[in-house]
Amino acid sequence: MVVTGIPTALLFIPWCWLTGNVMPLYKGTRFMLRSSCRMAGVRFNTIGLQNVPRDRACIFMSNHVSNLDPPALISLIPGRTSAFMKRSLMELPVLGTGFRMGEFIAVDRSGSAVAAKESVAAAERVLARGVHIATFVEGTRSPDGRMLPFKKGPFFLALNAGAPCVPVSIHGTEKILRKGSLRMHPGIAHVVFHPPIDPAAFPNREDLTQAVRAAIASGLPEWMRT
């Protein structure tokens, strides 16, 4: 990904600066991610893409078991997608520039309520422009593959924006790109897109959270659901 990402950045970031059109950069990045995975012997078993609405921006809510999950998910979602991202990654040379051009949303992990509100407001503006948002609702990568408690922010966003929530289950990536390693192992990454959930159908955040959690768990192996 590093080797193929450098020429992608050098070609498309200046183009985006000159034209104001981010789509060549976005499409080039998606192609780079898919190609890198194929070269590493990674195959995707993708189920349920037909469940993704084509007429409006959605919030894709996934579990998180590997550093491969973000590039895998974003490369599979149809249409342009933004994502929540650690603020430190947004400040990286070149790479951070690409993230900012793609309207990725910086997240401050300090726990500040003001920073959290700013992130949600930025995400609402992205959704209003018809851009999807991908988020890993546990807030961090699971240390052993089992599901962690979900963060509140993505569900406040869904209720405020009224955007459909598309639960996504990912497994297999924990064996392909293991914790503490940069080596990609050949294997199959399983990605399940579940039917969208309308946040307006739920009276509160807790009920919406439980519905999304149940959907994600249904696409995971039994041992990961605990």
- Cα separation, 148 vs 144, whole angstroms: 10
User: Tell me, what's the pLDDT at 164?
Assistant: 97
Using alpha carbons, select from 202, 226, 222, 224 the residue that is nearest to residue 212: 202
CB atoms within 10 A of CB 124: 15
In a domain, 29, yes or no: no
Query: Where does 157-202 show beta strands of DSSP type E?
Result: 165-171, 187-193
User: Tell me, what's the pLDDT at 209?
Assistant: 97
Residue 47 sits in a domain whose CATH number is: 3.40.1130.10
Q: Distance between alpha carbon 110 and the CA centroid of its chain, in Å? A: 21
User: Tell me, what's the pLDDT at 111?
Assistant: 65
In a domain, 4, yes or no: no
Q: Domain limits at 104? A: 43-224
- Cα separation, 136 vs 144, whole angstroms: 16
In a domain, 38, yes or no: no
Give per-residue pLDDT as tens, 43-69: 999 999 999 998 899 999 999 999 999
pTM of model > 0.85: yes
Q: DSSP label at 173? A: H
- Cα separation, 121 vs 8, whole angstroms: 30
Q: How many domains does the chain have?
A: 1
Contact between residue 133 and residue 84 where contact means Cβ atoms under 8 Å apart: yes
In a domain, 218, yes or no: yes
In a domain, 34, yes or no: no
In a domain, 133, yes or no: yes
In a domain, 214, yes or no: yes
User: Tell me, what's the pLDDT at 110?
Assistant: 66
User: Tell me, what's the pLDDT at 220?
Assistant: 98
In a domain, 125, yes or no: yes
CB atoms within 10 A of CB 195: 13
- What is the residue-level pLDDT of the chain in tens, covering all 226 positions? 667 777 777 777 788 888 888 888 888 888 888 888 998 999 999 999 999 998 899 999 999 999 999 989 999 999 899 998 888 878 877 777 888 888 889 887 666 777 778 888 899 999 999 999 999 999 899 999 999 999 998 999 999 999 999 999 999 999 999 988 888 899 999 999 999 999 999 999 999 999 999 999 999 999 999 7
